[in-house]
Structure 1
Amino acid sequence: MSDPATDPAFDYAPVGLALLEHRIIKRCNLLFAEIFDASPEALCETPIAALYPSAEDYQRIGEILQLPESQSGIYHDERIMRRTSGALFWCRVRGRSLDGARPFQAGVWSFADLSEERPVVSLTPREREVAILTCRGLSAKEIGLKLDLSYRTVETHRARLLVKFNAKKLPELVAKLSGMPL
């Protein structure tokens, strides 16, 4: 077995990999460092929070990881992340904690840069919530109940999303939000 500190399979993997302990980067590979515009050495001991677009996004993902349905220890999503240069980009994130009951103790995470397929559009936190729930197939009324908004307010947010993503109808918006080909 090779030494994990010098494992070429880890270092040269075709996806960005990071080993985290208590949400702090303990080790990352070359592609992870390239994705986030830094060297592996510069990212070592960096809190992963530094790579989120906001403290609210970092907090929200942390809360999701502690939900009962996340206790399997496996998690994946697509989200906006922040490079060390400050540039925002879409990223596919997959992770597995070594102990599902303690998701932050230790885990391995993969990161894939989706910026070629999905450019970043500036969204308010509420627009982001409505967009996520829309992609999950919820109706305006269901989103309104979940977010404590009137369905008309949800429709207003959806109308703004249609304009921002240059989509004519809701299915086209969902396709653009999910990165699916039209």
Structure 2
Amino acid sequence: MTRIPLPPASPVGDTAPRFALAELPVPMVYAAYRIIRDCNAGFAALFGATRDEIVGRSFARLYPEIGDFIRRGEQWAANLAGQEVYYDERVMARLDGQRFWCRVNGRSLSRGGDPFAEAIYCFEPMNRPAAQPGRALSERQRQILAQVAQGKTNARIAAETGLSRRTVEAHRARLMKAIGVGNAAELVAWFVSSGTADR
């Protein structure tokens, strides 16, 4: 397993410690331009794969739909570039197609450049059902619901998704009306218990 390269602009230079992903106890992956360049056994197992099946491949293979991959990339590009660290919760797909919820923390290793040039991500599986027994939601609705469940305000959701605050409010209002809940707490409870954000 390769060692994580330090970014060229690192202020600490070559004296910084280097480490192998295999030594880390959580599912970790190192990527360049959203291509998986290295991962540990925990990450491969999370996706029901071997390292050989996913190293050198695009992250797109691990998303339920290509649209999910594109929209998530746009969101992360906007947020990673400004603060170097970002996280969200999303539905991913194992190689057999089984979907699951996970929390993803990412850090760009490219200071001042393209945040995807070098990045490292930690994937934490969540105990949230990803099967949907009833109504199908769009990726945008799933994205907004996931951020509501994280306790984010409409303004912050708008900033992270590139939508206007009024658009976020409209999405939330339509969802609440369609589901038949009266407030954000009920919306979050429904979201967590139903797993409805999968499709």
Range class of TM-score, shorter chain: 0.7 to 0.9
Q: Unmatched 5+ residue regions in structure 2? A: 5-17, 194-199
Q: Is the 8 A contact 1:77 1:93 kept in 2?
A: yes
Counterpart in the other structure of 2:129: 119
Compared CA separation, residues 67 and 4, structure 1 to 2 (3 A): closer
Task: Extract structure 1 runs of 4+ deviating beyond 3 A.
Answer: 132-135, 144-151, 159-162, 167-170, 175-179
Identity value in percent: 29
Compared CA separation, residues 145 and 41, structure 1 to 2 (3 A): closer
Does residue 157 (structure 1) correspond to residue 169 (structure 2)? The answer is no
Q: Is the 8 A contact 1:36 1:82 kept in 2?
A: yes
Does residue 37 (structure 1) correspond to residue 51 (structure 2)? The answer is no
| Counterpart-to-counterpart distance in 1, 2:79 and 2:169 | 28
Q: Is the 8 A contact 1:65 1:71 kept in 2?
A: no
What is the CA distance between 1:86 and its match in structure 2?
A: 0.7
**Which of 45, 67, 89 is residue 78 of structure 1 equivalent to?**
89
User: What is the aligned length?
Assistant: 167
What is the CA distance between 1:126 and its match in structure 2?
A: 4.2
| Counterpart-to-counterpart distance in 2, 1:25 and 1:10 | 13
Q: Which amino acid in structure 2 is aligned with residue 104 of structure 1?
A: F
Compared CA separation, residues 121 and 97, structure 1 to 2 (3 A): same
Compared CA separation, residues 73 and 112, structure 1 to 2 (3 A): same
Compared CA separation, residues 63 and 145, structure 1 to 2 (3 A): closer
TM-score, length basis structure 1:
0.74
Counterpart in the other structure of 1:137: 153
Counterpart in the other structure of 2:3: 4
Counterpart in the other structure of 1:59: 70
Q: Is the 8 A contact 1:38 1:84 kept in 2?
A: yes
Cα shift readout 1:37-83 (whole Å, capped 9, x = no counterpart): 00011111110111112222211222123326742221111111111
Q: Which amino acid in structure 1 is aligned with residue 184 of structure 2?
A: L
Compared CA separation, residues 34 and 12, structure 1 to 2 (3 A): farther
What is the CA distance between 1:106 and its match in structure 2?
A: 1.1
Q: Unmatched 5+ residue regions in structure 1? A: none
Q: Is the 8 A contact 2:60 2:69 kept in 1?
A: yes
CA RMSD of aligned residues (A): 3.4
Compared CA separation, residues 3 and 128, structure 1 to 2 (3 A): closer
Does residue 105 (structure 1) correspond to residue 117 (structure 2)? The answer is yes
| Counterpart-to-counterpart distance in 2, 1:34 and 1:27 | 14
TM-score, length basis structure 2:
0.68
Compared CA separation, residues 24 and 68, structure 1 to 2 (3 A): closer
